[in-house]
C-alpha cells in the first residue's frame, strides 16, 4: 500500500499479511489511547477535514 498526499508518496506499507480480499478505506480521527497516554483535553474539540480520497486498483488484480 502506498499513501499519497498532494500527488507525492508519503508512506508505504509492504506486508505479506495484507489481504487480497475486497476492502475499503477508513479515515478516522482517533483521539488518544493508542499509546496509553491520556488525551490532552485542552486540544479538544479536534477536527479532521478530508477534501478528497482516491483509491486505485492495480490493473493486473482486476
Query: Each residue of 42-52: pLDDT tens digit?
Result: 878 878 888 88
Q: What is the pLDDT of residue 34?
A: 62
Q: Give me the residues of the chain with pLDDT under 50, please.
A: none
Range of the domain at 55: 22-62
Residue 5 lies in a domain: no
Residue 8 lies in a domain: no
Residue 11 lies in a domain: no
Q: What is the pLDDT of residue 10?
A: 92
| Structural domains counted in the chain | 1
Q: How far from 32 is each of 21, 36, 46, 47, CA to CA, in Å?
A: 30, 7, 12, 14
Model confidence, pTM: 0.44
DSSP at 49: -
Q: What is the pLDDT of residue 15?
A: 80
Residue 35 lies in a domain: yes
Residue 37 lies in a domain: yes
Amino acid at each position: 500500500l502506498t499513501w499519497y498526499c498532494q500527488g507525492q508518496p508519503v508512506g508505504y506499507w509492504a506486508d505479506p499479511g495484507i489481504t487480497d480480499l475486497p476492502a475499503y478505506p477508513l479515515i478516522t480521527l482517533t483521539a488518544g489511547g493508542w499509546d496509553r497516554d491520556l488525551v490532552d483535553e485542552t486540544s479538544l474539540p479536534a477536527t479532521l477535514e478530508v477534501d478528497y480520497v482516491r483509491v486505485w486498483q492495480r490493473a493486473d488484480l482486476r
